[in-house]
Structure 1
Amino acid sequence: MKKLMSFFIAIVAACLLLTLGVNRLEHAQGDANAKTLNLFNWGDYIDPALLTKFSKETGYKVNYETFDSNEAMLTKTQQGGTSYDLAVPSDYTIEKMKKEHLLLPLDRSKIKGMNNIGKDFLNKSFDPGNRYSIPYFWGTLGIIYNDRYVQADEMQHWSDLWNPKWRHSIMLVDSARDILGLALVKNGDSMNTKSVAQVTRAKDSLDDLAPNVKAIVADEIKMYMIQNEAPLAVTWSGEASEMLANNSHLHYVVPTEGSNLWFDNLVIPKTAKHFKAIYAFLNFMLEPKNAKQNAEYVGYATPNDKAKAMLPKAIRNDKQFYPEPKTIGKLQVYDDLGLKTVGMYNDLFLEFKMHRS
């Protein structure tokens, strides 16, 4: 009886395993046709109402996962454990992903609305011809000052930060590339230099700036500046937009001698599966009314010229976030400098942080 019972249990178990295997196989085969879009994006970097609208219009459910740095996004994409359909990396990261064959080229025949993107934001060095990327948002690196403590004419150039008057007054974003970059521009050098001598000289300039630095932090800059706890900060335009919206005494300036011009872009990782959903979403986000809504929600500058024209005049004419062409002409897009040079930047920046502590 025990043998018969054991044989019966074994048969039942085998049937269950077979059924489970078939279900998994069917799921795997059907996944590419699922009404789903897996989107990998920065946190709070799209209007949730747009995701709802997209789902209602198309029937595609959006699975939204976030990352907090290009490096974290790159690592997870390299691991390949999750089949992301779209991701939103920054310029130099796209260059890395192309070199590592982590991206699929765009099928331009399926894209409607690329002509809405301004020519200034296409065909950049990190993706010539936009074979792999569609501009999503763009911005700059600049200086935020509080007019309770700083006059406008006192803060127009990177060199103004070195004035002894600002001792223990400046918040710096914790980013080796950006902070060494501003020192490079101050010294008349490229933000993409691989010269050990030039980057070392930039680090020496930062050592001279150290007495003026109040703290080197990340998101905490927002709190400090909004609450009037620091006169000055160096950060990105998108972060600045949020701060200015919460404190009328704050202003943002891009030094006319040059700075960083960055782009975040929609790309298709090689693990993508839901291609109908992908192109439906790309076309949806290229529509001017949707790009305009997204720009108003996020607060970053849109590369969609038709969407920009629909924005309130106070926004589209704000030179803090939509600089004049002569200023844009002096801005530099970051190149992928390679592991060795990036390591040098990181090491020297760490030395600077240790120097001021």
Structure 2
Amino acid sequence: MKRLLATATATFGLALLSSTAAFAAGELNIFNWGNYTNPDLIKKFETEYDVKVTVTDYDSNDTALAKVRQGGHGFDMVVPSANVLKVWIDEGLLLEARPDQMENFKNVDERWVDVAFDPGRHYTVPWQWGTTGVAVNTTVYKGDPNSSAIFLDPPPELVNKINVVPEMSDVMFLAIRYVGGEPCTNDLAVLKKARDALVAAKPKWLSVDYGTIEALAKGDFAAGIEWNGAAFRARLQNPNIVYGYPKEGYPVWMDNLAIIKDAKNVDNAKLFMNFVMAPENAALISAFARYGNGIKGSEAFMPEDMKNAPEVNIPEASKAAGSFNLACSPEVQQLYTKIWTDLMK
């Protein structure tokens, strides 16, 4: 506990000395995406600060938001994606923790400091960032993987062998770009094309599910929408897996660590927020889930196999097709939800 209090004082200044009672329980409860938190990172934090950490998993942004909205959740921290972060902030669900004033904030890559979804970083710090594309098992399909046609107009050898992760924002982004529209469009003609393409394609899918890494590696399905880090982890188990960047357009995203407004262990949460901005600790996050982290200097601590991995390092030929996935207007979000509801029937 001495290390905890000494480090807290050095990191956050004298203001914390008046609130050390919050440390007394020595606990921190993190609500994060499943299979996304490195146990070694948690163990290191627990050892350094004498804090017992509990990590609870969720499977989607919608699940996390619904759980915290209803209250009584008991969580201190959460990891929302950039495209939903505005909702969390506007609804007063997050603490304005001012990570921009923390000691390790100097390590945040300039690209991720003054971001549209949290200008100046008053609420969040980077957790991980990546892309959403398609993954293909090349023993089943030997064609070009760099197209959303893989799941929207699949070749015969992939019919009924496709999984689509049920993350509405990513799926809608890919479908709208595939039919020639721009993300967050309110053009009803474009949205109808996207809806029709999705509805026509769904009978050719095997499943709409999360938890894809092991299933893809084992060959339970042969292709589908995938996050780049998940595709990388599948390839480490099965070298026949390749990740494609749809030439029609694909989303770039970032997940962000935040403190929940009604957190019970605020000081410990601030400690953890500062902790993950240290390069060696950010590298632990990436080493487990296989995504970029947005922290300068972390590259020196990353696994060798990430340095040239095509899933992590976007090929030059594919960079122009990617764009950041931000929140759409409430009106557009309602249209998305209607299409999604029809699709999930």
Taking structure 1 as the reference length, what is the TM-score of the superposition? 0.80
Counterpart code for 1:32: A
Q: Quick check: 1:32 aligned with 2:22?
A: yes
1:312 aligns with 303
Match of 2:175, SS state, is helix
1:183 aligns with 175
Match among 57, 60, 64 for residue 55 of structure 2: 64
Post-superposition offset of 1:142: 0.7
Cα distance 1:328–1:99, how it changes in 2: closer, same or farther (>3 A)?
farther
8 Å Cα contact 1:43-1:67 kept in structure 2: yes
8 Å Cα contact 2:40-2:284 kept in structure 1: no
8 Å Cα contact 1:31-1:273 kept in structure 2: no
1:99 aligns with 90
The whole-number CA distance in structure 2 between the counterparts of 1:67 and 1:155 is 29
Cα distance 1:176–1:49, how it changes in 2: closer, same or farther (>3 A)?
closer
1:260 aligns with 251
The whole-number CA distance in structure 2 between the counterparts of 1:37 and 1:226 is 34
Match among 136, 144, 158 for residue 154 of structure 1: 144
Post-superposition offset of 1:157: 2.2
Q: Quick check: 1:199 aligned with 2:191?
A: yes
8 Å Cα contact 2:229-2:311 kept in structure 1: no
Q: Quick check: 1:138 aligned with 2:129?
A: yes
Deviations 1:27-81 (A, max 9, x none): xx99634232232222332222222221221122223333222222212222332
1:237 aligns with 228
Match of 1:130, SS state, is coil
Match among 312, 315, 327 for residue 321 of structure 1: 312
Unaligned runs of 5+ in 2: 1-18
1:47 aligns with 38
Match of 1:65, SS state, is strand
Post-superposition offset of 1:223: 4.7
Counterpart code for 2:312: F
Counterpart code for 1:157: S
Match of 1:125, SS state, is coil
Match of 1:137, SS state, is strand
Match of 1:200, SS state, is helix
8 Å Cα contact 1:221-1:233 kept in structure 2: no
8 Å Cα contact 1:170-1:232 kept in structure 2: yes
What are the equivalent positions in structure 2 for 1:250-289 lying under 5 Å apart?
Answer: 250-289=241-280
Cα distance 1:353–1:100, how it changes in 2: closer, same or farther (>3 A)?
closer
More divergent stretch after superposition (288-297 vs 107-116): 107-116
Match of 1:216, SS state, is coil
Post-superposition offset of 1:270: 1.1
The whole-number CA distance in structure 2 between the counterparts of 1:236 and 1:67 is 16
Match of 1:215, SS state, is coil
The whole-number CA distance in structure 1 between the counterparts of 2:213 and 2:50 is 38
Taking structure 2 as the reference length, what is the TM-score of the superposition? 0.83
8 Å Cα contact 1:258-1:327 kept in structure 2: no
Match of 2:135, SS state, is strand
Post-superposition offset of 1:229: 4.1
2:9 aligns with none
Match among 75, 81, 85 for residue 66 of structure 2: 75
More divergent stretch after superposition (318-327 vs 228-237): 318-327
Match of 2:231, SS state, is helix
Match among 201, 222, 232 for residue 209 of structure 1: 201
Aligned-residue Cα RMSD (Å) equals 2.7
Unaligned runs of 5+ in 1: 1-28
Cα distance 1:327–1:79, how it changes in 2: closer, same or farther (>3 A)?
same
The whole-number CA distance in structure 1 between the counterparts of 2:92 and 2:222 is 45
8 Å Cα contact 1:225-1:233 kept in structure 2: no
Match of 1:225, SS state, is helix
Higher helix share: 1
8 Å Cα contact 1:32-1:274 kept in structure 2: yes
Cα distance 1:224–1:202, how it changes in 2: closer, same or farther (>3 A)?
same
Cα distance 1:51–1:225, how it changes in 2: closer, same or farther (>3 A)?
closer
The whole-number CA distance in structure 2 between the counterparts of 1:110 and 1:131 is 9
Post-superposition offset of 1:89: 1.2
Post-superposition offset of 1:97: 0.9
Cα distance 1:148–1:326, how it changes in 2: closer, same or farther (>3 A)?
closer
8 Å Cα contact 1:92-1:334 kept in structure 2: yes
2:325 aligns with 334
8 Å Cα contact 2:97-2:270 kept in structure 1: no
The whole-number CA distance in structure 2 between the counterparts of 1:171 and 1:139 is 19
The whole-number CA distance in structure 2 between the counterparts of 1:83 and 1:164 is 47
Cα distance 1:53–1:182, how it changes in 2: closer, same or farther (>3 A)?
same
